[in-house]
């Protein structure tokens, strides 16, 4: 088929990766999903296994990978604090060694690489909202540094490969994303709050709940990935991908209680170290370069996510 590509998605069995694989298959591409299943799960991609255009390979990106592809989306890395702080040395290796390996692969096969970076490169920002030219405010010695600095180094590697080897790269800085296929125990506010609300348990808020986040539904985020990959080769990013509508954590908890009809109450605990107080993207570059803005409202996206977790928890309760 004209325009059909062979596309590698590392971290393809994870939350974002599984949705990206689905979207690429809908576009009739061949998709190679690579995952070591540390945080990803076969359940996220089980419905894709019978598709002749889909291939699954169990592999850790900290080791070289020898395949022939046209495009690479490098999403491999645990992205929630609970998971990336479990083995911080391995987290850094995944970001840095993983980037070196996929960049080397892209160089060999002359593929375009999209690096999944993160809003965490901005740290606890002193600029609000955050623009792509902001260098960030990151603690390099803190418990979150394995992820924050690992992703910053991955960006550096991408741009050095681009300058030194003329490699075609795209860098996406992903802000808070939510939706089906999130891990129920990943420690993120959306999944935490929904699971607690569905179980009528107290909803745990760290700090006083006044810290802000912006939440983008997964379908919008994946749409931005594909639009970024399809931009002119001269456009590298980095580009912020997220929803600029800010919510306090307390407001999010109250919205989820209302949508689930839960009897949950709010309980407060100490704020974790280096937890950012404000996080909101400036997406003017995404609007102009990608012709992209989020389309799914928070209430609509939360409704779909709540339905997913309700089904998941019901299935687990039956086991």
Point out which residues pair with 34 in neighbouring strands: 10, 57
User: Of 8, 44, 34, 12, whose CA–CA distance to 184 is shortest?
Assistant: 44
Alpha-carbon distance 103 to 203, whole Å?
Answer: 42
Point out the catalytic residue in the list 73, 84, 122, 147: 147
The DSSP code sequence of 193-210 is: HHHHHHTTPPEEEETTS-
Alpha-carbon distance 210 to 112, whole Å?
Answer: 40
User: Of 77, 9, 97, whose CA–CA distance to 45 is shortest?
Assistant: 9
Q: Residue 169 burial (CB < 10 Å; 0-12/13-18/19+)?
A: buried
Alpha-carbon distance 126 to 93, whole Å?
Answer: 28
Tokens for 304, please give them.
């779909």
The verdict on whether 84 is a catalytic residue reads no
Q: Are 89 and 143 in contact (CB under 8 A)?
A: no
- Count CB atoms within 10 A of the CB of residue 222: 23
Looking only at the bridges linking them, the beta strands covering 212-214 and 246-248 are antiparallel
| Catalytic residue numbers, as ranges | 147
């Amino acid at each position: 088929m004209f325009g059909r590509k062979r596309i590698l998605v590392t971290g393809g069995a994870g939350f974002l990766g599984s949705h990206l694989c689905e979207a690429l298959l809908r576009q009739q591409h061949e998709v190679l999903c690579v995952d070591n299943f540390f945080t990803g799960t076969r359940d996220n991609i089980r419905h894709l296994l019978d598709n002749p255009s889909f291939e699954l390979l169990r592999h850790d990106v900290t080791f070289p990978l020898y395949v022939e592809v046209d495009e690479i989306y490098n999403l491999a890395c645990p992205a929630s604090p609970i998971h990336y702080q479990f083995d911080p040395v391995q987290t850094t290796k995944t970001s840095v060694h993983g980037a070196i390996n996929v960049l080397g692969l892209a160089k060999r096969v002359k593929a375009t690489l999209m690096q999944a970076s993160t809003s965490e490169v901005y740290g606890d920002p002193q600029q609000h909202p955050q623009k792509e030219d902001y260098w960030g405010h990151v603690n390099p010695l803190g418990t979150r540094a394995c992820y924050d600095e690992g992703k910053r180094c991955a960006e550096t590697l991408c741009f050095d490969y681009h300058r030194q080897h003329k490699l075609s790269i795209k860098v996406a800085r992903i802000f808070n994303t939510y939706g089906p296929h999130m891990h129920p125990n990943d420690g993120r506010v959306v999944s935490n709050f929904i699971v607690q609300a569905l179980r009528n348990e107290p909803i745990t808020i760290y700090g006083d709940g006044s810290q802000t986040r912006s939440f983008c539904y997964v379908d919008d985020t994946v749409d931005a990935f594909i639009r970024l990959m399809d931009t002119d080769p001269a456009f590298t990013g980095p580009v912020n991908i997220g929803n600029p509508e800010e919510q306090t954590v307390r407001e999010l908890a109250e919205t989820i209680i209302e949508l689930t009809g839960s009897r949950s109450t709010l309980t407060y605990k100490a704020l974790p170290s280096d937890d950012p107080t404000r996080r909101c993207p400036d997406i003017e570059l995404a609007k102009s370069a990608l012709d992209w803005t989020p389309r799914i409202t928070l209430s609509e996206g939360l409704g779909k996510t709540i339905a997913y977790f309700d089904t998941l928890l019901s299935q687990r309760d039956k086991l």
